[in-house]
Structure 1
């Protein structure tokens, strides 16, 4: 969980510098909201999986898959809400969301793969 917060801090610094010092057309003004959403969902799913694993390590795969599906559904609801509210520059918003979704998913898979390699 600490690595996720550190990773989010790094992304926030990169986005802040890009927004502040460069004219970047690929960065939506709601990037802070999207980052807060992803860090919230990541911390929540991490805590839920960690709580569900107490006492039974064999439930890891079903819990992790359920957390991934929940993250996907919550992400669709998040994007749908903002599109329903007629957010400006929809294409940039959706592309930023999808790129961050892929980045966070890849980071999470890398972290799990790293832990599994240590245990085998």
Structure 2
């Protein structure tokens, strides 16, 4: 979880500097809400993977797949709520969200596979 928090802090600093000191058309004003969402999802994934690794190791795969499905459903709900509320510049919002989704999903997979190599 520490790695996810650190990555989120680094992204927040980069986005803050980009928003503050440069005109960046690719950065949506709702980037703070997106980062908080992905930090929350990262915490959920971390907890579910920890539960899957405790005790019965056979529960890891169902817990990880459940967490992945939860990530997808919660992401769809998040974007749906923002789009339903009429967020400005929808295309930029969706592209930023998808870029962060792919980044965080890749980061989570890298972290989990790194931990699995150590535990096996």
Aligning the two structures, in what range does the TM-score lie when normalised by the shorter sequence? over 0.9
Structure 1 residues 33 and 69, CA gap change in structure 2 (3 angstroms): same
Q: Which consecutive aligned stretches of 4+ in structure 1 deviate over 3 angstroms post-superposition?
A: none
SS in 2 for 1:13: helix
**TM-score with structure 2 setting the length:** 0.94
Number of equivalenced pairs: 120
| Counterpart-to-counterpart distance in 2, 1:74 and 1:119 | 29
Correspondence for 1:57: 57
Please list every run of 5 or more consecutive structure 2 residues that lacks an aligned counterpart in the other structure: none
Q: How does 1:6-85 map to 2 (within 5 A)?
A: 6-85=6-85
> Could you tell me how far apart the structure 1 residues matched to 2:55 and 2:114 are?
22
Aligned CA RMSD, in angstroms, stands at: 1.1
Unaligned runs of 5+ in 1: none
TM-score (normalizing by structure 1): 0.94
Which structure exhibits the higher relative contact order, with contacts defined as CA atoms closer than 8 Å and separated by 6 or more residues? 1
Distance 1:19 1:102 in 2: 21
